[in-house]
Chain A
Amino acid sequence: MSMPAPHHAALPRRHRAYLIEAQCEFLRMLREPAFCIPVLIFPAMFYLLFGVLLNHGNAAAAQYLLATYGVFGMMGAAMFGFGVTIATDRERGYLRLRRALPTPTGAPLLAKMAMAMLFAALISLLLAALAAAFGGVRLPAAQWAGLFAVNVGGVLPFAAIGLYAGSLLGANSAPVVLNALYLPMAFLSGLWLPLSMLPDWLAGLAPVWPAYHLSQLALKVVGHDAGAPLWQHLAVLALVAAAGFVLARRRLEAAE
């Protein structure tokens, strides 16, 4: 009866391999200032500027912007964490090398996902601390937890967008194209300023952006959303996530 033994023996080793992969991915991003600084510092800086300093103590606005800047920050972590590293790793041959090695199936992707979620969690906690300390935001525990969950779970569709972009773009063009997508989408989805402050025709177009739908989920948590049903937003986000992963997979497999 030698069959079950290697299976059991292999199990912890496999888990360990996934864990080491995630650890390496996180360290790699943490040590990359070109990623860390914009992804961690910009949302916090923008929130302090628009949500606290220019807001003059409007608690509702501070709540609203806490929700939308959380989404803004998380989007950056997911899109850049996936897009730029995939483009670089693909272009420089690291993905090819890893495919030749006994890398557990899906481990690099899962590791990136865990890394992006961890950064989303850090951003979420950082903004929550700023909102509570300087923005005068007071929320019940369930709402803090809700915002945290939206930010961490929201990684999926934006990781998919980043992954697809990374499967198409070169290492040098990836950050440029991602920024050209990220910053306008954040603005047009009402993440920087409430949509009511944009011209009507622009505000009316907001539902074409996935970021709008995620921000509506976050705003729903604090009771500032536009009132569309939850399932609509979830459906759009699920569709974006599925489309991004399927398209990226096809691209990456066709690479050779």
Chain B
Amino acid sequence: MDSIPATAPLARLHGASRAYGAIPALQDLDLSLQAGQVTALLGANGAGKSTAVGLLLGLLAADSGEVSVLGQPPGSLAARQATGAMLQSAGIPERLEVGELLALVRSGYPHPRSIADCMEMAGLQGLLRRRYGRLSGGQQRRVQFALAICGQPRLLCLDEPTTGLDIEARQALWEAVRGLVAEGCAVLLTTHYLEEAEALAHRVAVIDRGRLLAEGSVDEIRARVSAQRIRCVSSLPTALVAGWPGVREASRDGDRLHIVAEPAEPVLRRLLEADAGVHAMEIGRAGLADAFLALTRPATEAA
């Protein structure tokens, strides 16, 4: 395994397709996961994210195309021993203690992390003897994370890892993921929280209806939209502003007006003309969320 050059992807999907009956879930997907990088897979519900994760973990077989993990077929023992996974629903037996669960999952890996390290990295200190069913939702999520990393995996699949976590726990998990990546782990992250992808991901792949729409660094993806965000305090009605040319979206939060515009300059000029009292104006570039919406919107509207 060490013979694989550093530039070769640790895991990849190549032209992978998978259908459920007549319904295609993934079509011709190419995705490479590099060691020491977080790749975020973004897409709406039903876009094919979980199918991609299932292919990579060997839970599903591809109808066509190739999937490999460390040069091995996914689902083979060698691939599974190099992989850790946190799935959306884990259904972990509620009557087992955290320590028992860790011992159980660790026992399958050749070089597992120590239980103490797992507990610390997942922020579970003091909960070793606690039954899984008696933990809070957030604590259960952290146990699932501990189980995903306990085998010192070289590939880590995190399917919506921070759903149900509070901000502090989410940031602690991000910190742990950054630590793993620094050790050379390849991470595949699917998430609904675009700020999570923004905070963690080196690369972003946007999929929609089973097809790859865009792939690149966070900045590259953001650069694909030229829309800008305008925030200001103004009493103008949103319905009026939304009707101006170039305005993509207008919404109100108390006395603050939010506008997504493309291009922004004519909208700014008009805003100043229409409301002499406008103030506290800020203009920012689009975030990943805006880019994501812009990328997936045409496909959605075409339907």
Q: Which residues of A contact B (CB under 8 A)?
A: 10, 13, 16-17, 20-21, 23-24, 27-28, 31-32, 88-89, 91-97, 99-104, 256
**10 other A-B residue contacts (CB within 8 Å) besides A27-B96, A102-B83:** A13-B110, A24-B93, A89-B93, A92-B91, A93-B87, A100-B83, A100-B157, A101-B147, A101-B151, A256-B54
Q: Please measure, in the bound complex, the distance between the C-alpha atom of A17 and the C-alpha atom of B105, giving whole angstroms.
A: 9
Main secondary structure of the interface of B (DSSP, over half): loop
- Smallest CB-CB separation from A21: which chain B residue? B104
Nearest 8 A-B pairs (CB), nearest first? A92-B91, A102-B108, A94-B91, A93-B89, A17-B107, A100-B57, A31-B95, A102-B80
Which residues 39-58 of B have a CB within 8 angstroms of A? 54, 57-58
**Interface residues contributed by chain B, number (CB under 8 Å):** 34
Q: Please measure, in the bound complex, the distance between the C-alpha atom of A94 and the C-alpha atom of B83, giving whole angstroms.
A: 17
Which residues 92-146 of B have a CB within 8 angstroms of A? 92-93, 95-96, 100-101, 103-105, 107-110, 131
The answer on a CB contact under 8 Å between B59 and A20 is: no
The answer on a CB contact under 8 Å between A256 and B91 is: no
The answer on a CB contact under 8 Å between A97 and B91 is: yes
Given contacts A17-B107, A101-B80, A102-B77, contact A96 B59 (CB under 8 A): yes
Query: How many Å from the CB of A108 to the closest CB on chain B?
Result: 10
Q: Please measure, in the bound complex, the distance between the C-alpha atom of A95 and the C-alpha atom of B92, giving whole angstroms.
A: 9
The answer on a CB contact under 8 Å between A256 and B96 is: no
A residues in contact with B58, CB < 8 Å: 99-100
Query: How many Å from the CB of A227 to the closest CB on chain B?
Result: 45
Q: Please measure, in the bound complex, the distance between the C-alpha atom of A244 and the C-alpha atom of B262, giving whole angstroms.
A: 64
The answer on a CB contact under 8 Å between A10 and B89 is: no
A-B contact pairs, 14 of them (CB 8 A): A24-B100, A27-B95, A31-B131, A92-B90, A93-B87, A93-B88, A94-B91, A94-B92, A99-B75, A100-B85, A101-B85, A102-B108, A103-B108, A256-B59
A residues in contact with B91, CB < 8 Å: 88-89, 91-97
Q: B251 on the interface (CB 8 Å rule)? A: no
Q: Please measure, in the bound complex, the distance between the C-alpha atom of A24 and the C-alpha atom of B59, giving whole angstroms.
A: 24
A residues in contact with B89, CB < 8 Å: 92-93
A residues in contact with B110, CB < 8 Å: 10, 13
The answer on a CB contact under 8 Å between A100 and B80 is: yes
Query: How many Å from the CB of A26 to the closest CB on chain B?
Result: 11
Our count of residue pairs bridging A and B at CB distance below 8 angstroms stands at 83
Q: B81 on the interface (CB 8 Å rule)? A: yes
Partner of A97, one of B60, B87, B95: B87
Q: Please measure, in the bound complex, the distance between the C-alpha atom of A89 and the C-alpha atom of B94, giving whole angstroms.
A: 11
A residues in contact with B104, CB < 8 Å: 20-21, 24
The answer on a CB contact under 8 Å between B95 and A101 is: no
- Smallest CB-CB separation from B53: which chain A residue? A100
The answer on a CB contact under 8 Å between B59 and A99 is: yes
Which residues 54-72 of B have a CB within 8 angstroms of A? 54, 57-60
The answer on a CB contact under 8 Å between A100 and B87 is: yes
Query: How many Å from the CB of B70 to the closest CB on chain A?
Result: 13
Q: Please measure, in the bound complex, the distance between the C-alpha atom of A13 and the C-alpha atom of B107, giving whole angstroms.
A: 7
The answer on a CB contact under 8 Å between A100 and B59 is: yes
A residues in contact with B101, CB < 8 Å: 24
Query: How many Å from the CB of A14 to the closest CB on chain B?
Result: 9
- Smallest CB-CB separation from A30: which chain B residue? B95
Query: How many Å from the CB of B115 to the closest CB on chain A?
Result: 13
The answer on a CB contact under 8 Å between B109 and A102 is: yes
Q: Please measure, in the bound complex, the distance between the C-alpha atom of A89 and the C-alpha atom of B105, giving whole angstroms.
A: 16
A residues in contact with B151, CB < 8 Å: 101-102
The answer on a CB contact under 8 Å between A97 and B90 is: yes
Q: Please measure, in the bound complex, the distance between the C-alpha atom of A20 and the C-alpha atom of B100, giving whole angstroms.
A: 8
B residues in contact with A92, CB < 8 Å: 89-91
Query: How many Å from the CB of B29 to the closest CB on chain A?
Result: 18
Q: Please measure, in the bound complex, the distance between the C-alpha atom of A9 and the C-alpha atom of B93, giving whole angstroms.
A: 30
Query: How many Å from the CB of B96 to the closest CB on chain A?
Result: 6
Q: Please measure, in the bound complex, the distance between the C-alpha atom of A145 and the C-alpha atom of B131, giving whole angstroms.
A: 38
- Smallest CB-CB separation from B76: which chain A residue? A102
The answer on a CB contact under 8 Å between A32 and B95 is: yes
- Smallest CB-CB separation from B90: which chain A residue? A97
Q: Please measure, in the bound complex, the distance between the C-alpha atom of A91 and the C-alpha atom of B89, giving whole angstroms.
A: 10
Query: How many Å from the CB of A172 to the closest CB on chain B?
Result: 14
